[in-house]
Structure 1
């Protein structure tokens, strides 16, 4: 597991200027490099009274599986409570993220992601697809967090590593439980679920930091995109910013709820479900008064898993078959068009 996803990205190196974040602590005005053109919907937080609010699902609810299925169909996202992840662990991970991003820029840059690398400190990997930069710093972990943590904290990285490794284990267990439920909703036979317990899964933890922004209405924390993953489990601090796009409602704010996690579906589940389940288009806005932190856990099948629609309700596949690694390669070169590039002619 430790290097598989990293290896998949190695063939698609980025330019160095797409990796190095600004030193946000030194800025009092918004640089032109980070000034996005304003669109009419840019900062609308849609709550129109018609139920435009992503579902909150209690994992202990006897109907949780059905509710998760409906949320995946209608939204591609839901908030999850009674998820079993200790609140103390979630708080510890957020504190470690704060400790990391509060370091001076030169310390953080010791763990700068290389152009062909996938782990360490840097801008969001999707940066290269957009003409403007995002008001964001990230730290990506695949496998052991220690290699990069040692570069930043040569003598006191143990606490960071232990907490992140515990979080990875807990998140994997929760992701497996949710995946079993989702595949059961799709009436997937047990043979098709064999990858769930694999030791070669595509997993990653992403720590995100969105500093206070002097002109939030002209900036973007994270540009609109879908995740490649089967599903993503996200802890967000109690600061608004995350928005999900829903047809008919526009951009809908995912308001933080105490001790809940956000779960949203990615491209892999969208393909497997033959587009029955959405892949959540999402973005992050910033504000001038409060910093925002989040921790994303990405979960998906192994790189050699052959991805193809599981045809139970319709005989017509909407996507051609290909390996997870091949799909990652397509998306690494064509962020927003990857799904359309594997769409079959029957569509």
Structure 2
């Protein structure tokens, strides 16, 4: 049998419900929109209503399939989200020399500067951020030394936003664990979990195709709880389809699964690869709670997910050392932890 016959015979018995549509290309020159038959990006991360009785199950499914989802009816007021967005814009719109008053020191995680993730990549990012843990009163006093009302407003909004988003974070973690048949008590350290609160800015970019707000990465944390405001920019990666935008939905908050949650679940929950692109005409801000264990707590696959047939995929590691490993190895850091 020659090669042409071999190829022909391998296809002739395959069923085809589309007839000639698998043979004859579309007349591309006359198309003004993409027809449904040619649309590949037909979905994005799930949107889950936390008041839904099935929310726990839906969250578990989203963690396994996507590693990310959006939540509605989450308990964080829209008024507070709008206030925090306004304060973020106000902060990032300050003159550069004023923002530099609260510049983060090289050894610190608190303060203003380029995203710490910048150290993972050879090129710099078209973004800036301000990270806090608890009250930013000391920084606010430096930013507006002669305007105590601005200090008070900024601090009040940031503290309340941290409080409400941390409560949401703990609620989501609890639902995630319950979807696995666990409780918060299975995380012996849960009462000592850490939350960082970060404001992110992606200024208008004259050549957005040449820049990146945040390069493709997975988060080092257990999870990140993000409000992305009304301007699109966040994208997640799915095999086959590629990069998929996460559309801003009024009032919705995005949940991203991080590497440490992937480790705890012994690979069952997906750690989502994501990035942020920039915009030529709009300045975009977002803010997020980054949640993780105490920095010295050793994290390893929970015993519920390991046995002789499914041994632990990863060696124990603490968050502090894993952040260092991520800086060295980038997105390959998890590979260096595999048994």
- Tell me if both proteins adopt one fold, taking TM over 0.5 as the criterion: yes
2:223–2:292 CA contact under 8 A, matched in 1? yes
Displacement after TM superposition at 1:293 (Å)? 0.7
Determine if contact 1:126/1:335 at 8 Å carries over to the other structure: no
* CA distance in structure 1 between the aligned counterparts of 2:183 and 2:86, rounded to whole angstroms: 41
Kept in 2, the 8 Å contact 1:69–1:185? The answer is yes
1:321 matched residue in structure 2:
316
Once the two structures are superposed, the pairs formed by residues 85-124 of structure 1 within 5 Å of their partners are: 85-124=76-115
Offset at 1:343?
0.7
Q: Please report how far the alpha carbon of residue 308 of structure 1 lies from its aligned counterpart in structure 2 after TM superposition.
A: 0.7
Q: State the match for 1:291 in structure 2.
A: 283
Q: Distance in 2 between matches of 1:271 and 1:152?
A: 40
* CA distance, structure 1, for counterparts of residue 319 and residue 128 of structure 2: 27
Q: Quick one: which of 199, 207, 210 aligns to 1:215?
A: 207
| Cα distance in structure 2, aligned partners of 1:50 and 1:104 | 40
CA–CA separation in structure 1 for the residues paired with 2:203 and 2:324: 31
Equivalent pair of 1:195/1:302 in contact (CA under 8 Å): yes
Give 1:330 shift: 2.1
**Alignment pair present for 1:205 and 2:200:** no
Aligned pair count?
296
Report whether the alignment pairs 1:330 with 2:330.
no
Greater CA deviation, 153-162 or 321-330?
321-330
Higher relative contact order (CA 8 A, sep 6+): 1
| Displacement of 1:127 | 1.2
Give unmatched runs, 5+ long, in structure 2. 1-37
Aligned to 1:267: 259
Task: Show CA shifts across 1:166-194 (max 9, x none).
Answer: 11111111111111111111222554134
How far is the alpha carbon of 1:51 from its aligned partner?
A: 4.3
Q: 1:129 aligns with which of 81, 103, 120?
A: 120
Report the structure, 1 or 2, having the larger helix content.
2
The aligned residue for residue 236 of structure 1 is 228
Identify if the C-alpha distance between structure 1 residues 228 and 190 changes in structure 2 by more than 3 Å, giving closer, same or farther.
Answer: closer
- CA root-mean-square deviation: 1.6
- Is 1:68 the counterpart of 2:59? The answer is yes
> What do the CA deviations read for 1:319-347 (whole angstroms, capped 9, x no partner)?
01122333233224333222111111xxx
Deviation track 1:40-64 (CA, whole Å, cap 9, x = no partner) reads xxxxxxx945643110100001100
The one of 220, 227, 245 aligned to 2:237? 245
2:12 matched to which residue of 1? Answer: none
SS at match of 2:187: helix
> C-alpha distance in 2, partners of 1:89/1:189?
30
TM-score between both structures, scaled by the size of structure 1: 0.82
TM-score by length of 2: 0.83
Distance 2:50 2:241 in 1: 26
In 1, Cα distance between the equivalents of 2:182 and 2:298?
A: 15
Match of 1:159 among 144, 153, 158: 153
CA contact (8 A) 2:99 2:112 kept: yes
Alignment partner of 1:185 is 2:176: no
| Offset at residue 300 of structure 1 (A) | 1.4
- Paired with 1:150 and 1:334, the residues of 2 have a C-alpha distance of 38
Shift of 1:313: 4.1
Larger Rg: 2
Aligned to 1:7: none
| Unaligned ranges ≥5, structure 1 | 1-46
CA distance in 1, matches of 2:50, 2:183: 23
Within 2, Cα distance between the matches of 1:252 and 1:126? 21
Distance in 2 between residues matched to 1:244 and 1:258, nearest whole Å: 19
Alpha carbons 1:176, 1:196 under 8 Å: kept: no
